[in-house]
Chain A
Amino acid sequence: MRIAISNLTKRFGALAAVNAVSLTVEEGEMFTLLGPSGCGKTTLLRLLAGFYTPDAGEIRFGDRVVNEVPPHERGIGMVFQNYALWPHMTVTENVCYGLKLRRVSASDMAARARAVLDKVGLTGLGERYPGQLSGGQQQRVALARALVLNPLMLLLDEPLSNLDAKIRVQVRSEIRKLQKELGITAVYVTHDQEEALAMSDRIAVFNLGSACQIGPPKALYERPANRFVADFIGINNLIDGTVTTVGGQEGGLRAVTALGEIGAIHDGRLRAGDRCVICIRPENITLNSGTGNGKNSFSGRIALSAYLGNTLRYDVEVGGPTPFKADIGDPWHHEQLAIGTPITLSCTIGSTLAIPVD
Chain B
Amino acid sequence: MEQVSAFSAGWRRTPASAVSGFGLIWLFLLLFVLYPLTRIFYDAFTNEAGQFTLVNFQEFFTDQFYLRSLWNSLLLGFATVLTTSVIGIGVAFLIIRYEFPYRNLFGYLTMLPMILPPLVGVLGFVFILGRAGTVNILLMDWFDMLHPINFMYGMHGVLLVETLHLFPFMTLSILDSLSKVDPSLEEAAQIVGAKGWRRFRDITLPLTTPGYISGALLVFIWTFADFVTPLVVGVQDLLAVQAYLNIVQFVDRRIFRMGIVISALLVVLAIVFVLVARHYVAIKDYSSLAYSRVERRQLGPIARWLAVAVLGLLMFLSMIPQVGVVLAAVGKGWSLTPFPVQYTLDYFRQVSIETPRFIVNSLVYSGIAVFICLAVGVPMAWIMARTRAPGRGSMDALTTLILAIPGTAIGIAYIRAFHYPLPAIDVALTSMWIILPLVLAVRRLPYTVRSSYSSLLLVHKSMEEAAENVGATKFATFRDITAPLVWKGILVGALFSFIMSIQEASATLFLTLGGWEMIPFGIFTYYIAGSHGQAAALGVILIVLCAVSLYIVNRVAGARVGGLFG
Contact = CB atoms under 8 A, between A and B. Distances in A.
A307 interface: no
A87 B286 CA distance: 6
A145 interface: yes
A145 B192 CA distance: 9
A187 interface: no
B182 interface: yes
Contact of A97 (B192, B195, B284, B291): B192
A101 B198 contact: yes
A102 B184 contact: no
A78 B188 contact: yes
Contacts of B191: 49, 71-72, 76-78, 98, 146
A101 B288 contact: no
Contacts of B203: 86
Interface in A131-161: 145-146, 149
Given A51-B187, A82-B288, A101-B198, A88 B192 contact: no
Interface string A16-56: 00000000000000000000000000000000010100000
Interface residues of B, number: 22
B194 interface: yes
Interface string A93-110: 000011001100000000
Interface in B175-215: 182, 184-185, 187-195, 198, 202-203, 206-207, 209
B202 A97 contact: yes
Given A72-B195, A80-B184, A82-B288, A88 B190 contact: no
B402 to A, nearest CB: 30
A179 interface: no
Interface residues on A, range: 20 to 34
B182 A84 contact: yes
Contacts, number: 64
B23 to A, nearest CB: 39
Given A87-B207, A88-B207, A88-B209, A102 B193 contact: yes
B286 A98 contact: no
A86 B187 contact: no
Nearest to B198: A101
Contacts of A87: 207, 286
B327 to A, nearest CB: 48
Contacts of A101: 192-194, 198
Nearest to B185: A84
A150 to B, nearest CB: 12
A348 interface: no
A185 to B, nearest CB: 16
Contacts of A86: 185, 188-189, 203, 206-207
A81 interface: yes
A76 B185 CA distance: 16
Contacts of A102: 193
B187 A80 contact: yes
A149 B190 CA distance: 13
Contacts of A51: 187, 190
A184 to B, nearest CB: 15
Nearest to B192: A98
B192 A149 contact: yes
Interface in B282-322: 284, 286, 288, 291
Contacts of A85: 185, 188
A306 B288 CA distance: 40
B493 to A, nearest CB: 29
Interface in A271-327: none
B197 to A, nearest CB: 12
Nearest to B181: A87
B129 to A, nearest CB: 42
Contact of A82 (B184, B194, B202, B207): B184
Interface string B109-143: 00000000000000000000000000000000000
A78 B188 CA distance: 7
A308 B352 CA distance: 80
Nearest to B195: A72
Contact of B192 (A70, A72, A80): A72
Nearest to A94: B188
Contacts of B286: 87-88
Contacts of B182: 82, 84
Nearest to A99: B192
A85 B186 CA distance: 10
Contacts of B193: 72, 98, 101-102
A51 B206 CA distance: 23
Among the interface residues B191, B193, B209, B284, which one has the most CB atoms of the partner chain A within 10 A? B191
Interface string B263-291: 00000000000000000000010101001
Interface in B217-253: none
B194 A97 contact: yes
Contacts of B190: 51, 70-72
A138 to B, nearest CB: 12
B188 A80 contact: yes
A102 B193 CA distance: 8
A146 B190 CA distance: 12
Nearest to A146: B191
Contacts of A72: 190-195
A70 B194 CA distance: 11
B24 to A, nearest CB: 40
A81 B188 CA distance: 11
Nearest to B284: A88
Contacts of B187: 49, 51, 71, 78, 80, 84
A82 B288 CA distance: 10
B194 A88 contact: no
Contacts of B206: 86, 88
B184 A97 contact: no
Given A97-B202, A101-B198, A84 B184 contact: yes
Contacts of A88: 206-207, 209, 284, 286
Nearest to A98: B192
B418 to A, nearest CB: 47
A313 B207 CA distance: 51
A69 to B, nearest CB: 12
B97 to A, nearest CB: 15
Nearest to B194: A101
Contacts of B209: 88
Nearest to A46: B187
A102 B202 CA distance: 14
A51 to B, nearest CB: 6
Nearest to B184: A84
Nearest to A80: B184
A12 to B, nearest CB: 11
Contacts of B202: 97
Nearest to B190: A71
B255 to A, nearest CB: 49
Nearest to A151: B191
A82 B209 CA distance: 21
Nearest to A87: B286
Nearest to B207: A88
Contacts of B184: 80-82, 84
B401 to A, nearest CB: 28
20 contacts: A49-B191, A71-B187, A72-B193, A76-B191, A80-B184, A82-B182, A82-B288, A84-B185, A85-B185, A86-B188, A86-B189, A86-B207, A88-B207, A88-B209, A97-B192, A101-B194, A101-B198, A102-B193, A145-B188, A149-B192
Interface of A: 49, 51, 70-72, 76-78, 80-82, 84-88, 97-98, 101-102, 145-146, 149
Q: A-B pairs with the 3 shortest C-beta distances?
A: A98-B192, A72-B193, A84-B184
Given A82-B182, A84-B188, A86-B185, 14 more contacts: A72-B191, A72-B192, A77-B191, A82-B288, A85-B188, A86-B206, A87-B207, A88-B207, A88-B209, A97-B192, A98-B191, A98-B192, A98-B193, A145-B192
